[in-house]
Amino acid sequence: MAGQVEIYDVTLRDGAQGEGVNFSLEDKLRLSQALDDLGVHYIEGGWPGSNPKDVEYFAAMRKTVLDHAILTAFGSTRRAGNPADRDGNLNKIAAARPGAATIFGKTWDLHVHDALRVTLDENLDMIESSIRYLRDRVGRVFFDAEHFFDGYRENPGYALKCLEAALSGGAERVILCDTNGGRMVHETTGTIDAVRRTFPDARLGIHCHNDSGLAVANSVEAVMHGAELVQGCINGFGERTGNADLCSIIPILELKAGRRTVGRQNLEKLTNISRFAYELANLSRRDFQPFVGASAFAHKGGTHVSAMARNTRSYEAVEPESVGNTRRILISELAGRASVLARYPELAAHPDKMNPLLEEIMRRENDGFAYENADASFEMLLKRFLGRFEPSFELLGFRAATEERDGGSISEASVKVRIGDIDLHTVSEGLHGPVGALDLALRKALNHVFPFFDAIRLIDFRVHIVNAQAGTNAKVRVVIQSQEGDDAWGTVGVSENILNASCQALVDSFQYLVMRHGGKSAANFRRRLHQV
């Protein structure tokens, strides 16, 4: 290991400025615990001088013991013409009693003239006096050199004077910020080298935004050029296009650059905290996100899977388990024998089934089916080919209608289901559309026999247009994700009728649930039915 790199998380403050991100107080408290468990060194909890929620957050966190992280409060330098001891922002930071404080100040003369509208010398004093004041009251103070790379490019002498003022005021660390996210990597590293030559003893950090898609690269290269601290957000949350993504930076530094961040054991928690942050932020996950995305270790092409079967290093940069993720073998029209065997090795004992199965996959995908996110539907297709699948029930037909009532809408669905030699006919109403009513009607029928349908929950419902050129006559593909306990599975249906496609996916999901409860044959269920 070449050395320790401190991870400074800004998800709760900078990340919360991202479009669509809105953490409640409880969300912030829960995410703080998760970040501490991950092993980050600093958690920037918010700006106590900007809103009541952050004041409440720091008050609540005083009752919380963090095992690893130091809780940090964020704020600006004092206002122009306002002494530090009378500055409300600085005093609210001190009153929050954080473990450290981070103050941002202007280092680009354009901002000093046009945003602050003060003299260059006054800005220098604002930086130094603010840090000195908080240093005496909080103890540890960091300086975020806002817009530093832009400022250095246009007026390097003044940008360096701003750092000198911060260090004179007692800043423990100086964080160089690419606030506009516009710097190329060679510009970033060249500027950091110049700062190190000017202030050889200063402890430097890096803070990059992702407006040019270079935040991760700039952050990693900054470390290679001497930065000891990296600021960023889980999943790259943040204003505009976001901040540097810690879910990429941490594994790159740990697994590729030989630097210690949160430690290899904690690195295995990365995928879980990524998903947890998406859930709290109420945002959809990015499947193609490096390291932690659902597709990060997904293999689809037959050639790739064949090579993976021989050596996983052939198409993977790191082991998925190292970041808490899992390898997935996708089934599609591109799948060859290797893909199917890698996913279902029991097929090796049935070589005569392989070609017909591959032909069926291709035929179905040509009709609009896709099994990449419908593992349960594919498993039942496979078991049908092997003669190992006995449907637990049969959907004989359904009806669904929606009508307006008193300014609102209500849907009604009826289904006819056959279980063994018994036909059941049920009707249900729903307030959330005809698919929801169909779901309720199916459950109502099946609950007569199967004792576990109340435990299943639909967690995702997606509709895809298969052949958009057909307009309103186009086929649609419906993919449903279902969950029981901690286990989730996907099913698919395709039709020109969206209700028909939805019903196919629902039926597959319910059939799969019965299959999951193994050992309970259709005959057992028929006996139960006759007892009802």
pLDDT tens string 362-393: 788 777 887 767 888 888 888 887 788 888 88
Mean of pLDDT over the chain: 87
Q: Across 317-475, where does the E strand assignment appear?
A: 328-329, 394-405, 408-419, 422-430, 457-465
Which tokens hold the place of 343? 């996913």
Confidence grade of residue 343 (pLDDT, cut at 50, 70, 90):
low
Return the ∠ at Cα 248 (arms to 247 and 254), rounded to 5°: 100
Give 489's strand partners.
Answer: 482
The full set of domains in the chain, from first to last, is 6-281 (3.20.20.70), 298-362 (no CATH), 394-531 (3.30.160.270)
Higher pLDDT: 309 or 279? It is 279
What pLDDT, on the 0 to 100 scale, is given for residue 331? 56
Lowest mean pLDDT among 59-63, 140-144, 244-248, 482-486: 482-486
pLDDT given at position 265: 92
Mean pLDDT value of segment 254-272: 93
pLDDT average, residue stretch 69-96: 93
Q: Which two tokens stand for residue 58?
A: 């720091």
pLDDT tens digits, 298-330: 766 556 655 656 666 666 778 888 888 877 665
Of 99-108, 311-320, 372-381, 477-486, give the lowest mean pLDDT range.
311-320
Torsional class of 197: left (φ above 0), alpha (ψ -120 to 50), beta (otherwise): alpha
Q: How far is CA 133 from the centre of its chain?
A: 38
For the cut 80, the answer to whether the pLDDT of residue 480 exceeds it is yes
Question: 459: pLDDT confidence band, cut at 50, 70 and 90?
Answer: confident
Comparing 92 with 361, the larger pLDDT belongs to 92
205, 8 contact by CB (below 8 A):
yes
Give the pLDDT score at 519: 41
Give the pLDDT of residue 306.
59
> Across-strand partners of 7?
230
Check if the beta carbon of residue 40 is closer than 8 Å to that of residue 70: no
For residues 187 and 167, what is the distance between their CA atoms, to the nearest angstrom? 23
Question: How far is the C-alpha of 491 from the C-alpha of 515, rounded, in Å?
Answer: 14
Non-local CB neighbours of 479 within 8 Å, separated by 6+ positions: 370, 373, 374, 460, 461, 462, 464, 490, 491, 492, 505
Number of Cβ within 10 Å of residue 360's Cβ equals: 15
